[in-house]
Chains A and B, each alone.
Chain A
């Protein structure tokens, strides 16, 4: 059994690491002076700039960069909201689905624009093909590209000296989409189709059941209707762009969304592919690859720790089964463990690994139902989100979040020895620290505040599905997921209500854009500074010591904030389960 765990997780990590260097190098070129494959991409890129009416050579200061970003995302938010409200009267709606309610449309628009992909609705029974393609898929691309643009702006801020600008938002947005996200998605979606993921504009298919069944009303049912749709193209980008919003209700647990172990490995890999490779890109751009490796090592170590916890808890299973004489021991013939809410082809290891990878990254797609996890198995993904989505995190946003933690770490270390902190040759001063504190605090406050509002109001409690401590976990998980732009859920919670749609929608927007603005402010502040030469008192930020310090700061900030809340949910549930 242990060997199976090591093989499954090891093969995933090995393939990931093999992709980090080539993709990281490619992305560094994309954001540099001369992007690769100019013959093919060059004309398209220049055409886009002409249509936008911008001069690609004109750079922006951080405030202009932020305004451009907010304007673009604001327009996208309104458009996606409008599209859902009028989908009933638009083409490509073979199931003739009605328009979506105002609160649900707001929630979904906020969710996809903020790269969260929290889904209060059920995909195959709510969204027309046109909405899925022209609304959701588009935001999957551009919200990911927005995150990457902010990261590149921050890295430029770190590397430039005495500069007032951090790049051009339109250029960074265009290049992220055109050179990186589109080609990767095209290849991935076709490989997924080869595995059995559907990609069709036809309506659903009806088949004759082998064995007709009798429903509760005594009627015989002899047919099965299978929902189809243009799924693969959306699934590819929802994995690659750390979006996570599934085409079908059960996301990547659906056999037509993730049919085989190979499709599972590829989708899993795609979750962390760009966030991991961006670490290497960062190393190249700051002229010291060791800096990128140190960050990647930090992320991988934290992820592996929580993966071990989740796999261990799920494999140990639910005492209920042993009490009833069920065989839940892993063997060559079965995965064993807590199989409630898990698919046979993924078993325990690939389900629990996915649960931790998707929450370490701010992806939020699922291939098993987190609500049915054991208490500690469900605690692992919850805590990974509560760490602020910096362990891989979202594309771009994860790394800029982690760089903020690096800044806080050099500050803490500087306090200990009484020196002015510096990171990569830039002095860290009061302004940067104020912004960094905001970035750390906003998601924490949002999470706890919304949990408190929900569990103390009737509207919040009305749609909790499981009772007791697990019910509290459902609410805490939802608030955590929204306030950290993850999007996964303890899906028993009935979240498609005006109460949750509104509050979680606000949380997603606040946590996305009120972190982006201070991050860009730090970028602008750092770009303005002079480079200070390294001295004997400089804390090196590429060493195992720094990796250890950074892990410590990330874990301690998360733990101090959330242990009381976790004690009321998963921890007390764990104690109850062992009674």
Chain B
């Protein structure tokens, strides 16, 4: 028995030190030196204030801002301390309610919009923290944002195009628009009245 227990105990201690202390500490040290911004959450600073993370969405519901995906985190949407999806199955009545509520909110803020609502604008993201929407979802909101801010639609549309990321290398992933960065750029041009 001892011939097996001794190496078993020694092995778990050695591998704990190697993979549980040396490895993560080494990665942390290199990461903090080589990629300090990314390693600490890709925070965006403006005039000395941390305004958010380039990778984490925020909740927007004013007409003058672009809105992001629905967020199912609790107790408030876009709670970046407790990520969560809705986990609604496709036939769950709560899913239909959430979608209908979002449609109603979009229509109320922008009754004359003739465009069909893109699906990512009425569905909850997996993380509840999705920082991005599809270009279709951004273009759908151009008219509302322009009206609310007293800007022309082409001004706002141009801003959307500037903030659209294409698939990496032209093939990986999907085209998308970072909502927080787009809204910060809007505030730079003209603050909400």
Contact = CB atoms under 8 A, between A and B. Distances in A.
Count class of interface residues, chain B: 35 or more
Interface in A53-76: 53-54, 64, 67-68, 71-72, 74-76
Interface string B47-77: 0011111111111111001000100000111
Given A76-B12, A182-B19, A137 B88 contact: no
Contacts of B15: 138, 141-142, 177
A196 B95 contact: no
A47 to B, nearest CB: 9
A247 to B, nearest CB: 10
Contacts of B28: 199-201, 230, 233
Given A230-B28, A344-B174, A249 B82 contact: yes
A125 B75 CA distance: 14
A445 interface: no
B10 A53 contact: yes
Given A48-B14, A52-B10, A133 B24 contact: yes
B142 interface: no
Interface of B: 4-12, 14-16, 18-21, 23-24, 26-28, 30-32, 34-35, 38-43, 49-62, 65, 69, 75-92, 95-96, 99-100, 103, 116-120, 122-137, 139, 167-168, 171-176, 180, 183-184, 187
B174 A340 contact: no
Given A48-B14, A210-B51, A232-B31, 13 more contacts: A67-B4, A138-B12, A138-B20, A170-B7, A182-B18, A195-B38, A202-B40, A226-B53, A227-B81, A230-B24, A233-B27, A340-B123, A372-B88
A374 interface: yes
Contacts of B59: 209, 211, 213
Given A211-B60, A334-B137, A253 B173 contact: no
Interface string A157-195: 000000000000010011001100010011001100111
Contacts of B123: 338-342
A79 B57 CA distance: 38
Top 8 nearest A-B pairs (CB, nearest first) are: A261-B173, A492-B87, A253-B126, A470-B89, A334-B134, A347-B174, A369-B85, A334-B136
Contacts of B27: 186, 189-190, 193, 199, 230, 232-233, 236
B41 A205 contact: yes
Given A11-B172, A225-B81, A372-B86, A327 B136 contact: yes
Contacts of A457: none
B32 to A, nearest CB: 7
A577 B7 contact: no
A254 interface: yes
22 contacts: A51-B14, A74-B8, A75-B8, A124-B83, A133-B21, A134-B16, A182-B19, A190-B35, A194-B38, A195-B38, A197-B38, A233-B28, A250-B85, A321-B99, A327-B136, A340-B123, A342-B123, A342-B126, A369-B85, A369-B126, A371-B87, A374-B90
Contacts of B130: 255, 343-345
Q: Which of A326, A328, A374 has most B Cβ within 10 Å?
A: A326
Interface stretch (A288-296, A304-312, A461-469): A461-469
B162 to A, nearest CB: 16
Contacts of B82: 122, 124-125, 227, 249
B16 to A, nearest CB: 5
A196 B42 contact: yes
Interface of A: 7-8, 11, 48, 51-54, 64, 67-68, 71-72, 74-76, 79, 122, 124-125, 133-135, 137-138, 140-142, 170, 173-174, 177-178, 182, 185-186, 189-190, 193-202, 204-211, 213, 215-216, 221, 224-228, 230, 232-234, 236-237, 248-250, 253-256, 259-262, 264-265, 317-318, 320-321, 324-328, 331-347, 350-351, 366-369, 371-375, 465-468, 470, 473, 490-492, 573, 576-577
A473 to B, nearest CB: 8
Nearest to B128: A250
Contact of A215 (B5, B76, B126): B76
A556 B96 CA distance: 38
Contacts of B91: 466, 468, 470, 573, 576-577
A256 B173 contact: no
Given A141-B15, A255-B56, A264-B173, A198 B24 contact: no
A331 B56 CA distance: 25
A324 B103 contact: yes
Nearest to A52: B7
Contacts of B183: 210-211
Contacts, number: 387
Given A75-B9, A253-B127, A224 B52 contact: yes
Given A138-B16, A576-B91, A249 B83 contact: yes
Contact of A193 (B39, B60, B92, B118): B39
Q: Which of A54, A79, A233, A340 has most B Cβ within 10 Å?
A: A340
A233 to B, nearest CB: 4
A154 B19 CA distance: 26
A127 B61 CA distance: 33
A238 to B, nearest CB: 12
Contacts of B129: 254-255
Nearest to A72: B8
Given A205-B43, A317-B119, A333-B135, A466 B127 contact: no
B174 A346 contact: yes
Nearest to B94: A466
A521 to B, nearest CB: 18
A264 B31 CA distance: 19
A200 B30 CA distance: 11
Given A201-B28, A224-B56, A233-B23, A208 B127 contact: no
